[in-house]
Amino acid sequence: MTMIGALLRATVIALMSMNTRAFIATHVSSSTRGGDLVCLCASNANEIMPMKQGSSCAIITPMTNEGKLDIPSLRKLLKFHLASETDNLCILGTTGEASVLNMEERAQVLTTAVEEVKGKIPILAGTGTIKPEAVREMTLQAIELGCDASLVVTPYYVKPPQRGLIKHFTDMADIGLPVVMYNIPGRSQVDLSVESTVICAQHPNIIGLKDATGDLDRVQQIRQSLAAEDDLLLYSGEDGTSSEFVMRGGDGCISVTANVAPKAIHDLMMASLAGNAELAKNINKPMLDLHKKLFVESNPIPVKYAAWRMGLISTPYCRPPLSNLDAKYYNDVETAMEAAGLFGFGDGTNVVVPSNAMSSSKQNRSFSP
């Protein structure tokens, strides 16, 4: 461990010792990131599963037509990803509609994920928001419930300076759960610079970065700027360019498309990590239109519709201020799904017609059990 890593680790331990939360215990576990020990001062410390290279699904949160959590559909989705070789699961991100869930609902979702996949797939819990105190509260909850890492977005709207971003990420890493930073300037209106990323990466609890800048040169810039011994995980946040991102030095993707095509995205990432450009191209070609059409409206509106059409969830309901997919996009999404070979794949017995859904030209497609 570097001198900086040792000092940071000592600081984490000191800070955690002052925390009065009843569920925090004084255990230390190690995580495989750059060979550094990671302080995980929680009752689940010895059960932390390190994040992997490959495909991380930014999983949707299924809901009923009344807007309640649909836990049976969530369990079905989690089992689907186990069977499809998804490498990591990102729970309660933007795709999971985390911003409209309360703490009790978050606990239900995370508890279900832990019950179904703990120790089988690493669980990355989205805990980022604009208010540091809220990030801390959600991260502590994730520790208590048994998650393996936290995804923390750059605080949006307020446009913090780089020094503020560095402090935010290192403060959250001090809590004790491994952190994957999330840089998405298109939504947050602030860009975590390469230099700030490298500074943050010196913290032993900061294990990765989800990059949704769309700048493919950045992955090489970050990789070249990191210390030789630092193996910060670099995940693409853009499905359309994730293969090239990985071939330029990235480690995988955090994917929306993986909700409906998890095995294909896993295979795509494995081919890309192996540097097999031809195989990656062949795997990705049927999904090229799907990557685009899953964003014809705000995420996760289209992907929930696609998952519903496959029979993976009972309704495509999205909570306000989002809404269900506009009927004018049904054909666009379904045509892309057909090109990707997704019809005839789900289980139609799980489907309930949403209260505000209009009939689609392809609504009578049959599902294979």
Please list the active-site residues: 182, 210
Is residue 339 a contact partner of residue 290, using CB atoms and an 8 Å limit? Answer: yes
Nearest to 336 by CA among 312, 305, 368, 357: 305
Report the relative pairing of strands 88-91 and 179-183 from DSSP bridges: unpaired
Give the CA radius of gyration of the chain: 20
